[in-house]
Amino acid sequence: MNDPLSKRATATEIAGAVMSGKAKALAVVDAALARIKAAEPTFNAFTDIVAERARIRAVEIDRGLHRGPMLGVPFAVKNLFDIKGLPTLAGSKINQDGPIAARDGSLVRKLEAAGAILVGGLNMGEYAYDFTGENAHYGPSRNPRDPSRMTGGSSGGSGAAVAAGEVPIALGSDTNGSIRVPASLCGLFGLKPTYGRLSRAGTYPFVDAFDHLGPLARSVDDLALSFDAMQGWDPDDPVCTDRPAEPTLPALLEGINGLRIAIAGDYFERGAQPEALEAVATVAKALGATRKITIPEAAAARSAAYVITAIEGGQLHLPRLKSRPQDFDPDTRERFMAGALLPGAWYVKAQRFRRRYRANVQKLFGEVDIILAPATPCTAPNLGQVMMTLGGAELPVRANLGLFTQPISFIGLPVVVAPLQRPGGLPIGVQIIANHYNEAAALRVARALEKQGVASAPPA
């Protein structure tokens, strides 16, 4: 049991301490704010800190005005979430002039309804079109495992804030890998739920077809705790499922007996550096998984995800590309412009292909419950690095950090990233992929790895 005021404390530990009266919410929040103040000059995770609001909420909790399973837990959100009273930056300079949020985003309200306390907004790649965590306007978020390295993105501040121990939980968004890539590069647990499982209301969009929200944390319990608090239908997000919420926290006690676990071969073994494949092998061995399966047409799936992203993103930002091109981050501007010009025929073909791919992958889930794959093809690149070598080829870092995440979010499958710390080296994550709406199975597997000490996410 960690001291609830320390940077090692998990959300579960903090909530337990506050609920039992062993710690005051105000003391927890003040300790988090002090850590943020000390850490920010190095990691640049936050763009906004809402200290006064957080303290007011903490005092209310200490007076017994709020209850819930996340009582007193400080958390922060990628700055594409609406925070009442602030412009929703989405990593951009342009949105500084945008509307001031009239209320918090849906998931922020749900976490606060569960007793958690928002402490701030987090840095991110501009408009989420990013796998690096770099940002020309606000500076890069820096990887707490090695501040000369990328956090990964686009939820880079979310990765940095949790890995540095500033907060135990942060929310991010994941369109093509933007939770899973920073979880892998910063050595954290991350959950990208099923498409439509969590409401996206009150967040700035990127690619409606693939936009997901979810938590990054340092323990599997914390992923499940926050996921359970955020589930539920929301009329404000037309994609949000009306299936009843299914709590995952009780399922963690079930272990992995009965789960059929396989390793993704073929596409997911190519173009990865040895440490990515070693991480999958280590996890497979720990789980006793030997079966290898092929996800058919994964390369075309990645290609289709890229096309839909480029075209939806380019179309979304077209008015601003016309009126304020000089105010974009140079690393997103010309990609958005090119995306806006791509043929519509590609988009329709990608959507038609998606239907077939989804049907074929669902057939696989008749034979297995879990598929393991690398989260990133490599450990954290250096800040500013443009090219990297993968499978003998020189490839752009930006387009390729999501090589293994894109074919999965393309059809909205739930994924937990389990981080492997590598003594003397940088961490790397493994994707634990389950069938739609079966987040519980992926969390159970992550929990088994955590229990065995194979996966872990101590603060840096």
Partner 1 sequence: MAEDKPDVGRLVDEAAKALGLPIADQYRANVIVNYERSLAIARPLLEVDLDDELTPAPVFRP
Catalytic residues: 78, 154, 178
Where does this chain bind partner 1 (CB under 8 A)?
194-196, 209, 297, 299-300, 302-304, 306-307, 310, 318, 321-322, 325, 333-335, 337-342, 346, 348-356, 358, 396, 399, 411-413, 436-437
Which positions ≥6 away from 433 have C-beta within 8 Å?
A: 264, 370, 371, 372, 373, 408, 413, 414, 415, 442
Torsion angles phi and psi, residue 254, rounded to 5: -75, -15
Nearer to partner 1, 15 or 311 (CB): 311
As measured in angstroms, the least distance from the Cβ of 412 to partner 1 is: 4
- Indicate left, alpha or beta for 271 from its phi (over 0: left) and psi (-120 to 50: alpha): left
Q: Under DSSP, is residue 450 helix (H, G, I), strand (E, B) or coil?
A: helix
* Residue 24 vs 436, nearer CB to partner 1: 436
Q: Check: CB of residue 126 under 8 Å from CB of residue 331.
A: yes
**Please, what is the minimum distance in Å from the beta carbon of residue 205 to partner 1?**
15
Smallest separation, CB 340 to partner 1 (Å) = 6
Among residues 64 and 319, whose Cβ is nearest to partner 1? 319
* Cβ-based nearer residue to partner 1, 29 or 301: 301
Nearest Cα residue to 450 out of 178, 221, 211: 221
Which is closer to partner 1, CB of 66 or CB of 335?
Answer: 335
Question: By C-beta, is 38 or 338 nearer to partner 1?
Answer: 338
Pick the closer one to partner 1 by CB: 102 or 345.
345
The beta strands (E) that lie in 86-211 are given as: 117-122, 142-143, 146-150, 169-174, 189-192
Residue 22: CB minimum distance to partner 1, A? 41
Using a 10 angstrom Cβ sphere, with 0-12 exposed, 13-18 middle and 19 or more buried, the burial of residue 97 is exposed
Least distance (Å) between residue 109 CB and partner 1: 24
Whether cis (ω within 30° of 0) applies to the bond prior to 148 is no
Q: What is the CA radius of gyration of the chain?
A: 20
Q: Check: CB of residue 388 under 8 Å from CB of residue 397.
A: yes
- The Cα–Cα gap between 369 and 414 comes to 12
CB of 330 to partner 1, least distance (A): 8
- Residue among 241, 167, 147, 220 at smallest CA distance from 7: 167
Cα-based distances in Å from 312 to 340, 344, 370: 8, 10, 30
* Smallest gap from residue 227 Cβ to partner 1 (A): 16
**What's the burial of 100, exposed, middle or buried (CB within 10 Å: 0-12/13-18/19+)?**
exposed
End-to-end CA distance of the chain: 18
